Amino acid sequence: MIRSAITRALFDTRLARTCCLVLGVIVLLAWLGPLFSGWEFDEIDWDAIESPPSVEHWFGTDFIGRDLFVRSMLGARVSLGIAVVATLVSVLVGIPWGAVAGYLGGRTDQLMMRIVDMLYALPFVLVVILLVVIFGRNPYLLFMALGAIFWLDIARIVRGQTLRLRAQPFIGAARLLGVSTAGIVRRHIVPNVFGPALVYATLTIPGVILAESFISFLGLGIQEPDTSWGVLIADGTQSMESAPWTLIFPGAMLAMTIWCTNMLGDRLRDQMEAGAGYTRNSAERARRRT
Amino acid sequence: MVRYLLIRTGLTLLTFWLIVTVVFFLMRLAPGGPFDGERRLPPEVETNLRAAYNLDKSLPQQYIDYLGMLVRGDLGPSFRQKDFSVNELVAIGLPVSLTIGGLALIIATTVGIAVGLRAGLSPGSRKDIALMGLTNIGIALPTIIVAPLLVLVFGVTLGWLPTGGVGSFSHYILPPIALALPFTAAIARLTRGSVVETLSQPHLKTARAKGLTERLIIRRHIFPIALLPVVSYLGPAATSLLTGSVVIEQVFELPGIGRYFVQGALNRDYTLVMGVVVVYAALILMFNLLVDLAYAWMDPRIRLQE
């Protein structure tokens, strides 16, 4: 069921297929792009400082003469890498939390989900900046912590799935056979909720990418000479008056990635909800989008 | 209604207290003291500084003192900007941020609702598809791209508007528009969705059967119902407007509260960050409370549930 929902969401319309293609190209470029360019990401071309796109420098160069193509690709690699890591963290925290809450039920469930609700109410950027203050000196730790924010959705979904699973006869059978609570959660609940949870986790990717670019844009995330889309856009903002391409190329890549992942994510969610009967009111849906 | 109001207010205060508590202890967890500088301070100086900033007491005592100060509306001194109290910094920054945020909220709601109504009243029409396509772009473009692009087009290339700073009226045009864009799009989509939903309701048939004019039907029977989800979206929207203004203030070089927030985070100015979080949290909670009350006032079913 999950597999067919995924293929439907990704390939059913031309728009969806285009989005897949665009994302595929961006991932490939992030992975292999730097190999095709003769420049290093921190190499300075003294003859071409702030030069427009040319045969030599496909995306032009930035304000100190570094090749923007290589930097954009490296930025893509960092931004996408962070998105994947943070998403994995969110899955690792969200699945156990949701599964335990859903399986135990009662007071424990109430308490655990109340905590999720409360964290949900906290304004996202406040949390992020607090994390920056706390993890300040280590951007990579910070981005792991980003995952720790995004686990809330996963926990909610896993709990919902667990509630439905708990009523299934095979769980009762396991309990009759004397399997411990921890054993049931680990062996019977988690493997069964893993698939849907992973699909929902991919929906958090645009959110993480945006959060990363936002933090790095403010100068609180990835630091020079390392780069990410957020850093590149911040640099581009500084030099856009004389060299608009420094803003336009990384900006366009970020915008396309966000648009495509959002678009595919919405389709995926609709397909899954149609199958799972999980719905959300329209206001909450709108809130997720921003 | 009074009961509902009391419960909601109580819950809001409780949440506020919880946020203050969590943030207070989180800040104490952060590595490095506030006085870690390039050079180590002599022990006597450090002792005096600790006493001056009330850091020499036990943690529970510090916490109680901080709550006491908050009740009196005092956010304490700034660790880094030695001549300023956090209150003074907030007093400088808040008016700018609130002006930008308020203007953005007005733009987002008026334009968003107008666009949503237009599109929703004729679903599937060419106008509808074009408008919704535009909102799709508005949602996908992050502020960190839109704001610099607006500066580039209207500030640099066309030279119509100033590229940043504060001063005349013209300084307050681009920043609110840049800030409002994604919310305008979100509100437009939300309004369209609920207008389309409302169109299929039976009471509209009754209204038409009574012979009401189309204009009156829209105003009396579609508008109030279709607006409910928009009202409930205003709470989260206001939150995101506040936080979004952090980026806007950076791009347009505005001396708002968001700038102090980022500065505080960069300098590890704990009291400043803490103070800004407290102010943000208070504003957001207050706004959410107002939205909830407005919602209950508009929709009697909610009052009855509580």
Q: Per-residue pLDDT for A285 more than 50?
A: no
Query: How far is B273 from A148, CA to CA, in rounded Å?
Result: 21
Query: What's the mean pLDDT in B60-89?
Result: 80
Lowest-pLDDT range, A58-67, A94-103, A218-227, B184-193? A58-67
CA quadruple B103, A251, A268, A12: dihedral positive or negative? positive
Q: Per-residue pLDDT for B135 more than 50?
A: yes
Query: What's the mean pLDDT in A60-65?
Result: 72
Residues 6 or more apart in contact with residue A263 via CB below 8 angstroms = A15, A16, A19
Determine whether the interchain pair B265/A136 forms a contact, defined as Cβ–Cβ distance below 8 Å. Answer: yes
Tokens for A133, please give them: 């203050």
| Chains A & B: contacts with CB separation below 8 Å | 126
Tally of CA atoms within 13 A in the half-sphere of A163 that contains its CB: 14
Q: Output the CATH code of domain B86-305.
A: 1.10.3720.10
Secondary-structure breakdown of chain B: helix, strand, coil percentages, each rounded to the nearest 5:
80, 0, 20
Residues 6 or more apart in contact with residue B68 via CB below 8 angstroms = none
pTM above 0.80, yes or no: no
Which strand (E) or helix (H) includes residue B114? helix B86-121
Q: What is the pLDDT of residue B37?
A: 58
Closest CA of chain B from A45, distance in Å: 26
Query: How far is A80 from A76, CA to CA, in rounded Å?
Result: 6
CA quadruple A52, A53, A56, A61: dihedral positive or negative? positive
User: Residue B238 burial by CB count (10 A; 0-12/13-18/19+): exposed, middle or buried?
Assistant: buried
For the ranges A41-45, B221-225, B279-283, the one whose mean pLDDT is highest: B279-283
User: Residue B259 burial by CB count (10 A; 0-12/13-18/19+): exposed, middle or buried?
Assistant: buried
Start-end of H helices in A177-244: 181-184, 190-202, 205-217, 229-239
Q: Per-residue pLDDT for B111 more than 90?
A: yes
Lowest-pLDDT range, A70-84, A185-199, A260-274, B143-157? A260-274
Determine whether the interchain pair B268/A233 forms a contact, defined as Cβ–Cβ distance below 8 Å. Answer: no
Quick one: what percent of chain A has pLDDT higher than 70?
87
| Structure-model confidence comparison of residues A98 and A120, the more confident one | A98
| Structure-model confidence comparison of residues A1 and B255, the more confident one | B255
Q: Per-residue pLDDT for B155 more than 50?
A: yes
Which of A124, A138, A142, A217 would you mutate first to test chain B, the one with the most B CBs within 10 A?
Answer: A217
Domains of chain B by residue range: 86-305
Query: What's the mean pLDDT in A228-248?
Result: 82
Q: Per-residue pLDDT for B299 more than 80?
A: no
Label residue B282 by pLDDT band (50, 70, 90).
Answer: confident
Q: Name the residue with tokens 């100060």.
A: B69
Tokens for A231, please give them: 């850093």
Query: How far is A221 from B198, CA to CA, in rounded Å?
Result: 45
Q: What is the pLDDT of residue A137?
A: 60
Determine whether the interchain pair B152/A241 forms a contact, defined as Cβ–Cβ distance below 8 Å. Answer: yes
Q: What is the pLDDT of residue B227?
A: 82
Q: Per-residue pLDDT for A197 more than 90?
A: no
Q: In the predicted model, what is the mean pLDDT of chain A?
A: 79
pLDDT tens sequence across A149-163: 788 888 988 898 888
Alpha-carbon distances, residue B48 vs B35, B39, B55, B76 (angstroms): 12, 17, 10, 17
Q: What is the pLDDT of residue A238?
A: 81
Which 114-173 residues of chain A touch chain B by CB within 8 A?
Answer: 118, 121-126, 129-130, 132-134, 136-137
Label residue A283 by pLDDT band (50, 70, 90).
Answer: very low
Say if CB A82 and CB A215 are below 8 A apart: no
| Structure-model confidence comparison of residues A251 and A40, the more confident one | A251
Query: What's the mean pLDDT in B148-162?
Result: 80
Which of B25, B132, B144 would you mutate first to test chain A, the one with the most A CBs within 10 A?
Answer: B144
Which of B36, B145, B192, B252 would you mutate first to test chain A, the one with the most A CBs within 10 A?
Answer: B145
Query: What's the mean pLDDT in B92-120?
Result: 89
| Structure-model confidence comparison of residues B284 and B56, the more confident one | B284
Label residue A286 by pLDDT band (50, 70, 90).
Answer: very low
Label residue B140 by pLDDT band (50, 70, 90).
Answer: confident
Determine whether the interchain pair A233/B229 forms a contact, defined as Cβ–Cβ distance below 8 Å. Answer: no
Q: Per-residue pLDDT for B14 more than 70?
A: yes
